[in-house]
């Protein structure tokens, strides 16, 4: 059986590609690309003339069988718009289909925006959670952030420029004023990595218009700055109380673990919040 090569390509700087990737792209009979125009520029830069076929979110259903048929005749290389195939692109489905058909999958490692940003963030990199693009709507973003706010792992997100400030506001609301690294235009001419707190990042990108693609690296709970403020704790307790599905004891136990406050302190404050709500 033939081989599907997963070839990592540059995320910006065209020099960020391996010798092996250039060789494989020059040897395969066909290259399946998320963006044929962008990949065409890369191939031209390295003098590669292999034929291209498109494979992206809008045609993946019909193109999958076509590419599997190509694999029946010979090897195929899969490349994404930028970086490593299968990360935030439709490569996952093709890989599964190729495996199901008995083909060999060979990954060629290389550039990856999340790992590049993490390595330069100044935040713990021994344990991290990658969550892809933040949702478009605020309530969806807040739901996701609430699901991971108690995680001890460094958090990594992608964000578009027109939603960056809204995303930072939601992060401040849900996660608190944690340390963050905001990386944009990685490996490109206007590369920037802002390091500071979420509040400082909001101020910076309010004063400097967000441009380019962003990778956000956020401190996990264990390194997020310790104990919550009383105001944040009270707000969280009000939200938990309004849901009304858990006992006060269970609410106090869960939030004590997240907030750095003692369980008894959280329980007493919860009673105050309940009395306040009841009038």
Q: Where is the domain boundary, 204, 223, 242?
A: 223
Residue 116 placed within a domain? no
Residue 117 within a domain: no
Count: domains in the chain: 3
The tens-digit pLDDT sequence of the chain (279 residues) is: 899 999 999 999 999 999 999 999 999 999 999 999 999 999 999 999 999 999 999 999 999 999 999 999 999 999 999 999 999 889 999 999 999 999 999 999 999 999 999 999 999 999 999 999 999 999 999 999 999 998 989 999 999 999 999 999 999 999 999 999 999 999 999 999 999 999 999 999 999 999 999 999 999 986 655 567 677 788 888 888 776 678 888 888 888 877 778 889 999 998 888 877 666
Structure confidence at residue 256 (pLDDT)? 84
Whether residue 143 sits in one domain with residue 128:
yes
Task: Provide the phi-psi class of 88: left if phi over 0, else alpha when psi is between -120 and 50, else beta.
Answer: left
How far is the CA of 20 from the CAs of 5, 25, 66, 109, in angstroms? Answer: 11, 9, 26, 9
Q: Which of 127, 146, 156 is nearest to 214 (CA)?
A: 156
CATH (domain of 212): 3.30.950.10
Q: Tell me, yes or no, whether 208 and 272 share the same domain.
A: no
Q: Print the domain residue range for 145.
A: 122-223
């Amino acid at each position: 059986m033939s081989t599907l090569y997963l070839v990592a390509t540059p995320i910006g700087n065209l020099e960020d590609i391996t010798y092996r990737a250039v060789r494989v792209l020059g040897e395969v009979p066909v290259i399946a690309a998320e963006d044929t125009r962008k990949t065409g520029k890369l191939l031209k830069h390295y003098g590669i003339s292999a034929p291209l076929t498109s494979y992206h979110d809008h045609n993946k259903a019909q193109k999958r069988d076509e590419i599997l048929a190509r694999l029946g005749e010979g090897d195929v290389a899969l490349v994404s718009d930028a970086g490593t195939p299968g990360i935030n692109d439709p490569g996952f489905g093709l890989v599964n289909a190729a495996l199901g058909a008995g083909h060999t999958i060979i990954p060629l490692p290389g550039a990856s925006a999340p790992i590049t940003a993490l390595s330069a963030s100044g935040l713990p990199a021994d344990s991290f959670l990658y969550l892809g693009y933040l949702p478009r709507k605020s309530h969806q973003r807040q739901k996701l952030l609430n699901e991971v706010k108690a995680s001890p792992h460094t958090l990594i997100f992608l964000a578009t420029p027109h939603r960056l400030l809204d995303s930072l506001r939601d992060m401040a609301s849900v996660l608190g004023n944690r340390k963050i690294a905001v990386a944009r235009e990685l490996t490109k001419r206007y590369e920037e990595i802002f390091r500071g707190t979420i509040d400082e990042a909001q101020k910076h990108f309010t004063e400097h218009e967000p441009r380019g693609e962003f990778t956000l690296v956020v401190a996990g709970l264990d390194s997020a700055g310790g104990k919550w403020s009383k105001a944040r704790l009270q707000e969280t307790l009000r939200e938990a109380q309004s849901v009304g599905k858990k006992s006060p004891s269970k609410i106090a136990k869960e939030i004590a673990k997240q907030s750095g406050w003692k369980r008894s302190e959280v329980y007493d404050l919860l009673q105050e919040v309940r009395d306040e709500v009841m009038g």
